[in-house]
Amino acid sequence: MSVFARVAQAGSFSAAAKVCGLSPTMVANHVQDLERRLGTKLIQRTTRRQSLTEVGQTFLADCLDVLARVETAEDAARERHSRPSGHLRVSATVSFGTSVVTPLIHDYLRLYPDVEVDLRLTDRVVDLTEEGIEAAFRFGDLPDSGLIARPLRPCFRVVCASPDYLAKHGVPLTPADLAQHNCLLFRDGAPRNHWQFSGLLPVQVSGRFVVDNGTALLSAVRDGLGVALLADFEIADDIATGRLVRLLRDTATPAWPLALVHLADRRMTAKLSRFVELALQRLG
């Protein structure tokens, strides 16, 4: 296929032979073997000139596409084995980035000392192309955006409160009891005032504190301001130490999908491919 493409582009067997480093006879043999296998003429040859047949023109376009893909695959394989270096920009939500992504990046930097990482922590959805982000951690069902999404281990939301708050206001025993409590709300465009539990209709809650930052929400529940619905990774240490109490243990919440997304480039840089591999290894 490569020799045939060279002949078509160079305009003659002898010109293609010089480019390929072969004899004109060997170039002709390659083309003839290809024509025999396909059972059709690709190049119409006369004593004065040669030209592609109609089938040859279509086949040339397909050959060029296939050869480009082969070159891309080979380059990508070489790059994956090269030394990661350069500047890597990563985005994550504030709480997940602080609790999970930051320790992951610490390990990544130890493994690849020639890479610099710029971690952007924000609870808004970033535009990878416009903001120059190479990898982003996303929660929830993803829209069809043209990005490559690598599914990670899903998270679960946990209802929790501080021992001090529960001592003053009592312990909710069912999701319906939450209506009697000051529920701290996360704002994602609009406040999330409907909490979902598996097998139940969404429970409407209300409270005196609404915030668009996960770290601020965690601080408020630790300070005894109310009941909150937080991701399990955020409060694992607080639950283990008794700083917070997990509520409604017998009532499950739906899995919260998590994915690592990056642009759909044919070739990933070594720094990005290594980061994706490490994230899948630790969080997949």
* Lowest-confidence pick of 49-63, 66-80, 93-107, 129-143: 66-80
pLDDT digits (tens, 9 = 90+) for 69-109: 888 888 777 766 678 999 999 999 988 999 999 999 999 99
Q: In a 3-state reduction of DSSP, which class is residue 212?
A: coil
The Cα-based distances of 252 to 166, 174, 176, 197, 206 in angstroms read 20, 11, 14, 6, 20
DSSP 8-class letter at 260: E
**Token digits of residue 282:** 């630790």
Secondary structure (3-state) at 284: coil
CA dihedral 65, 67, 71, 72 (to 10 degrees): 20
CA distance 12 to 219: 75
Main-chain dihedrals φ then ψ at residue 101, nearest 5 degrees:
-70, -40
The model's confidence at residue 146, banded by pLDDT at 50, 70 and 90, is confident
**Cα–Cα distance, 86 to 176 (Å, whole number):** 52
Of all helices (H) and strands (E), which one includes residue 275?
helix 270-283
Q: Which residues contact 272 (CB under 8 A, 6 or more apart)?
A: 88, 134, 135, 262
Average model confidence (pLDDT) across the chain: 91
CA-to-CA distance for 26 and 17, rounded, in angstroms?
8
Give residue 190's pLDDT. 67
Share of the chain above pLDDT 90, in %: 65
* pLDDT, tens only, 189-241: 666 889 999 888 889 999 999 998 888 999 999 999 999 999 999 899 999 99
What's the pLDDT at 74?
81
Using only C-alpha atoms, what is the Rg of the chain? 29
139: pLDDT strictly greater than 70: yes
Q: Is the dihedral of CA 78, 81, 82, 85 positive or negative?
A: positive
For 157-183, how does the pLDDT look when each residue is reduced to its tens digit (9 = 90+)?
A: 999 999 999 999 999 999 999 999 999
